[in-house]
Amino acid sequence: MSRSEGTVAQAFPSIDAPAVPVAASNALAFPRADAREAARLALLRDLHLAFRKRGQLVQPLAFFAMVTLLFPLAISPELARLRELAPGVLWVGALLGSLLALEFLFRDDAYDGTLEQYALSGQSLTALMFAKTLAHWLLTGLPLALMAPLVAISLGVATTAVPGILLSVAIGTVALSLIGSIGAALTLGIKRSGALLSLLTLPLSLPVLIFGARATQLAIHGASLVAPLELLAALAILGVTLAPLAAAAAVRISLE
Amino acid sequence: MSVERLEVENLHLWRGERHVLRGVHFALARGACLEVCGANGSGKTTLLRALCGLAYPEEGQVLWNGENVRRDLPAFHAALAYLGHEAPLKADLTPRENLHYWIGIRRRLDDAELAAALTRVGAHEWSERQVRTLSAGQRRRVALAGLALLPVPLWLLDEPTTNLDAAGRELVGDLIREHLSRGGMVVAAVHQGLPQSVHNVTRLDLAA
């Protein structure tokens, strides 16, 4: 029964050896959680953790508020001019704010072995990644979308533009979170990955920036913003279908 | 129902220039335990990670019930529990919350079972404290509570007794014995050896 050589000492417990008397085979059975339950818990876990350390939660929002409110000071307090600049200011702020939080998306989970447990859970890693990205959007994208109309009003935009701005930032940040999740997963194994993450994520985010700013501009002018909004939604849907798959694959590579 | 068994054939794995796993092979049947011994850096952790599919061996294969595990990794993962040398716990959550999320992702869990597992590892008194305030041994005990809640066929344990006191090491022995007696399999990487109370153990020595 000697199968091999080499420096490694081998052990051969015979398969047919009388093992310890085995109890009923269903002793190893337990009620498994389905994929939806698993994704729900992964989402809740991230929300729970975020509310335990609120400092990280406020960071992107504070950044967004600061950037957008510094513009009037730097350019001019003239409302007509600010109104023209508002879409660009809003979107650059939202893009950078969302990017800021991205670094934390998987980092802690990678350090403490949570990602490893996710990858070995027998559940769909894609579904778990989607849940994590959804949590990220709820914690950064959604608050940014809710804040954007306030900032817009402070830049002299009429309140009639509020629904359009809210909607475009909300949909746009979904796409940003999803694009970002791929970058965050790809840069997992790298120390101080912030710069690389921006380099990877920003070019892919440009379509969102362009269509988002366009939608906001149309909303401010009271025109129909259906066209850019549809394109934003298309980007978000493309992200929903592809990004979790890519993120899951990248996470598996980083775990090796 | 097929009889579960784990076979490892001629596993070779390189880490850069280093040939870490050099033709490891063994077979494990239900109710059997494999103790992987070796000095630091001899590849114990690497072997466990190769077994569960996290690391890709250059040569050789891992067979689960006669099939290469790479053919259906999710099914294999559903049949195993892996405990690394760091407990996969969130410092900002309590042991109870940690187990609720960590184990809940794999199985349905009611509060009574959770409480029973925490009591079993002696964690009931501090189950509502944040994990950041716990000692390394206490964290390890919480991880063991998680393991006790996962009666999957195959347990892969990396240094399960680190940081534990004598009673804690006995607890590891009890858990492993119980798992073997219900037909489970255990592969444990151990530095000091498993507690004496565990029988039906085969030893695999990895050369450094």
Q: Does any CB of chain B come closer than 8 Å to the CB of residue A216?
A: no
Of residues B179, B37, B150, B174, the one with CA closest to residue A20: B179
Percent of chain A beyond pLDDT 70? 89
Does the residue A181 lie in any domain? yes
Query: CA–CA separation, B173 vs B167, rounded Å?
Result: 10
Strand, helix or coil for residue A38: helix
Q: Domains along chain B? A: 1-79+152-208 (3.40.50.300), 89-151 (no CATH)
Question: In chain B, what's the furthest Cα-to-Cα distance?
Answer: 50
Cross-chain Cβ contact B107/A128 below 8 Å: no
Q: Examine the predicted complex and report whether its ipTM is higher than 0.90.
A: yes
Q: Please give the average per-residue pLDDT across A176-193, as a whole number.
A: 91
Using one digit for the tens of pLDDT, what is the confidence trace for A70-120? 888 888 888 888 999 999 999 999 999 988 888 889 999 999 999 999 999
The full length of chain B comes to: 208
Which pLDDT score is estimated for B208?
67
User: What is the percent of chain B where pLDDT is above 70?
Assistant: 98
B201-205: strand order across its sheet: B80-83, B154-158, B185-189, B33-37, B201-205
What are the two backbone dihedrals, phi and then psi, of residue B61, each rounded to the nearest 5 degrees? -150, 160
- Residue A23: pLDDT above 50? no
Instruction: State how far the Cα of A208 lies from the Cα of A91, in Å rounded to an integer.
Output: 9
Q: Say if A10 falls within a structural domain.
A: no
Q: Does the beta-carbon distance from A42 to B90 stay under 8 Å?
A: no
Residues from chain A contacting residue B27 (CB–CB below 8 Å): 12-15
Integer CA distances (angstroms), B47 to A5, A137, B28, B29, B103, in order: 18, 38, 15, 18, 24
- What residues in chain B have per-residue pLDDT under 70? 1-3, 208
Do residue A27 and residue B182 have CB atoms under 8 angstroms apart? yes
Across the range A154-175, mean pLDDT stands at 94
Q: What is the pLDDT of residue B85?
A: 84
Residue A3 lies in a domain: no
Q: Give Cα A75 to chain centroid, integer Å.
A: 33
Q: Is residue A89 part of a domain?
A: yes
pLDDT per residue as tens digits for the range B126-165: 999 999 999 999 999 999 999 999 999 999 999 999 899 9
Q: Answer whether residue A6 is part of any domain.
A: no
Q: Tell me how far apart the alpha carbons of residues B175 and B171 are, in angstroms, rounded to a whole number.
A: 6
pLDDT for B81-96, tens place per residue? 999 988 899 999 999 9
Indicate whether A119 belongs to any domain. Answer: yes
Residue A170 has pLDDT above 80, yes or no: yes
Q: Using an 8 Å Cβ cutoff, are A211 and A232 in contact?
A: yes
Beta bridge partners of B82: B156
pLDDT category, A15, cuts 50, 70, 90? very low
- Whether residues B107 and A42 touch (CB distance < 8 A) is answered with no
Of A120, A119, A134, give the one whose Cα is nearest residue A249.
Answer: A119
CB pairs under 8 A between A and B: 169
Q: What is the pTM of this model?
A: 0.90
The secondary element (H helix, E strand) that includes residue B80 is: strand B80-83
A14 pLDDT more than 60:
no
Domain containing A195 equals: 34-255
Comparing A20 with B125, which gets the higher pLDDT?
Answer: B125
- Find the largest Cα–Cα distance for chain A: 89
Least Cα distance to B205 among A88, A52, A149, A10 occurs for A10
Interchain CB distance below 8 Å, B90 and A120: no
Residue at A227 is within a domain? yes
Number of domains in chain A: 1
The answer, for A3 touching chain B at a CB cutoff of 8 Å, is yes
Which helix (DSSP H) or strand (DSSP E) does residue B8 occupy? strand B5-15
Chain centroid offset of residue B73 CA? 17
Q: Mean pLDDT across the stretch A44-65?
A: 91
Residue A182 lies in a domain: yes
d(CA B1, CA B24): 29
